[in-house]
Chain A
Amino acid sequence: MSWIREGELSLIERLSANILKAGPMPKHVAFIMDGNRRYARKRQVERQEGHTQGFDKLAETLRWCLNLDIREVTVYAFSIENFKRSKEEVDGLMELAKQKFSRLLEEQENLEKHGVCIRVLGDLMLLPLDLQQVIAKAVVSTRKHNKCFLNVCFAYTSRHEITNAVKEMAWGVEEGLIKSSDVSEALLSKCLYSSSSPDPDLLIRTSGEVRLSDFLLWQTSYSCLVFQSVLWPEYSFWNLCEAILQYQLNYLPLQKAKDLHKEQQALQQLEADRRCVAELLMHHGSGNGKPTDAQSRQEHLLSYVAEREERVQGFLGALQHRRDRYFTDLAALTALA
């Protein structure tokens, strides 16, 4: 079963999609695809069959998203916690992933036609090397595409992701690229695996569970959360429409909360900058002992902000380069093998 499914919606689905599209639409939707095993039990089929059908449903859902003009989708494919499952099941899931990512490589033409960029978020080092390589190849080969984006969270938990971002910043400090005072909420957001995506507008979890299970905790702070009781392999177009309706009903208050948060963030940044400038002036100013007037203070502040932004940009550039290199090197390793 392939990643990209061709095909159109039925007349009634198209009509509903068009009505929905008259309102505000989410640009980025995240899914916790829960319920594959329960589905297998319910249908009395093998567990692995449940997972396979779950993947097929993902391909179908991606098509619906495309039809609904949703250009970015993030899915929780495998959590670090899932390594606790039985060896048989973990091996089965790794095999399925390898198969699907290899399949993706065979579909290059199709991916190019739709401009699909695949990103894999997570600690890939925890995976078997052959799977790492296939993933790296898929990521590198679709890197340039920019029409739609599929982020697959694999060997992922949000706490790991946040910790990793802190580590990256600490690395930047060690390398002398940034100062510890440059660390802020905004910078942390840009060091996450998901740095190139906007925060998801809508998060959907299936199978009736009502928790986030360590998925995108940071990014979904102001997203609309929709918990649906349907099992993932039984997910339908109408379930997706229902979730979007929920999003539309929540749109205005969430927008307000987001704006408020942005304002607070800007204020905190300003405060931090002022503090740093005051400290600097204390250091330098103690020599001549003159109190600085408001205007020169403002000038100092502006030049400090410019310096800080330059530092941060340099650091983020270096970080991106390091990440790109990691994938390129891994993919090159396959070419040699």
Chain B
Amino acid sequence: MALVYECAWRVLHALLHIQRTLVSWFRTRIWNVNWRFWKRALATLFFPVTLGLHNHIHRTLKMGKPTIKRGYRRFAWGLDPGSLEKLPQHVGFLIAEEEPSYKDIANLIVWCMAVGITCVSVYDNQGVFRRNHAKLSDKILKQQQELLGLDSSKYTVTFLNSSNEKPNHQVLSCQMEVRVLSADDGRLGIARAAEQLCRAVELREKSSMDIDVSTLDSMLRDSQKHIPDPDLVLGFGPVRSTLGFLPWHIHLTEFISLPSHIEISYEDFYGALQRYATCEQRQGK
């Protein structure tokens, strides 16, 4: 009998895997098809005669600029961040996929910048981004220029790799901070703060009775450069877990999962922001 159950379980999981693959396949397909369909529809609507030239028409029609910036073009599609009820201040990207695409992450960061999010954390539990932070920071600059064009000079990015690092230029001109986090900032960060407090107790500078939630919170906030707790974490990939993302700081964070960050579109990102805007926090009440 156990064998029959095991077979049934295997069949069930095989079906689920097939369903998953199909869904993600369709997601990318439908997006592409949709995109082509809309281009054609708009072209037909406005310039019915020049149907064959829809690419050129679309360029002049939507952007008013001779070049289409991939990704940024979608700002023009009525997905205006101003229409959102609330916007997160600090967004975390939790990448739980084997092969990270630096370009897509850079795109996401530039979109955040453009909608007015002031702080972004990029996290993976294996420390891939921490090791390759230079690559990511280069990509951000590149995408910033490509997507925002001339506007990009208005935005300054401060890039922090580890929590002990000082910002490399003055924060005054900065509109956005990007941090790269790894598992070391999580539980280990709390344990380090605890060790520091215990050392103060050992040296008789503090008593154990002095320790409360706000002591620990302010210590951990210091180690995170006084950046507010993340309001929203976007988890990319099939894994449904925080994978050790700043356990102390996520007490009120909303988690939204997206299937993958690879080839992510502005619509998907905007959809997640929209979902965040509808989340209501009752703060225990």
Contacts and interface: CB of A to CB of B under 8 A. Distances in A.
Interface of A: 18-23, 79-85, 157-160, 162-163, 165-167, 169-171, 173-174, 179-181, 183-185, 187-188, 209-214, 217-218, 220-227, 245-246, 248-250, 253-254, 257, 260-261, 264, 268
B198 interface: yes
B251 A225 contact: no
Contact of B198 (A81, A173, A264): A173
Contact of A210 (B5, B6, B245, B255): B255
A249 B253 contact: no
Given A84-B283, A163-B212, A158 B251 contact: yes
B201 A162 contact: no
Contacts of B212: 163
A79 B279 CA distance: 20
Contact of B251 (A18, A19, A217): A217
Contacts of B6: 22
A250 B198 contact: no
A180 B285 contact: no
Nearest to B209: A167
Contact of B284 (A82, A253, A254): A82
B45 interface: no
Interface stretch (B165-173, B185-193, B258-266): B185-193
B213 interface: yes
Interface string B118-138: 000000011000000000000
Given A81-B284, A210-B279, A257-B125, A18 B5 contact: yes
Contact of A166 (B1, B10, B194, B255): B194
B269 interface: no
Interface string B1-13: 1100110111011
Nearest to B8: A19
Interface residues of B, number: 61
Interface string B219-256: 00000000000000000001111111101101111111
A22 B188 contact: no
A83 B285 CA distance: 8
A220 B126 CA distance: 17
Contact of A167 (B10, B211, B248, B283): B211
A337 B74 CA distance: 71
B99 to A, nearest CB: 14
Given A159-B251, A166-B211, A185-B191, A250 B242 contact: no
Interface of B: 1-2, 5-6, 8-10, 12-13, 16, 20, 96, 125-126, 183-184, 186-188, 190-191, 193-195, 197-199, 201-202, 206-209, 211-213, 215-217, 238-245, 247-248, 250-256, 279, 281, 283-285
A183 B284 contact: no
Contact of A248 (B13, B96, B238, B247): B13
Contacts of A159: 213, 216-217, 248, 251
Given A211-B252, A211-B255, A212-B253, A225 B240 contact: yes
A183 B187 CA distance: 12
Given A180-B202, A185-B191, A209-B279, A222 B211 contact: no
Q: Which 3 A-B pairs have the closest CB atoms?
A: A81-B284, A170-B208, A22-B9
A193 to B, nearest CB: 15
A224 to B, nearest CB: 5
Contacts of A171: 208
A257 B241 CA distance: 10
Nearest to A22: B9
A189 to B, nearest CB: 8
A211 B281 CA distance: 9
B256 A22 contact: no
A174 B241 contact: no
Nearest to B219: A166
Contacts of A220: 241-242
B247 A253 contact: no
A253 B96 contact: yes
Contacts of A23: 9, 13
B250 A217 contact: yes
B203 to A, nearest CB: 9
A226 B255 CA distance: 11
B254 A211 contact: yes
Contact of A20 (B9, B211, B250, B255): B9
Given A210-B256, A214-B251, A217-B251, A257 B243 contact: yes
B241 A224 contact: yes
B188 to A, nearest CB: 6
Contact of A222 (B216, B238, B244): B244
Given A84-B284, A227-B255, A246-B240, A169 B187 contact: no
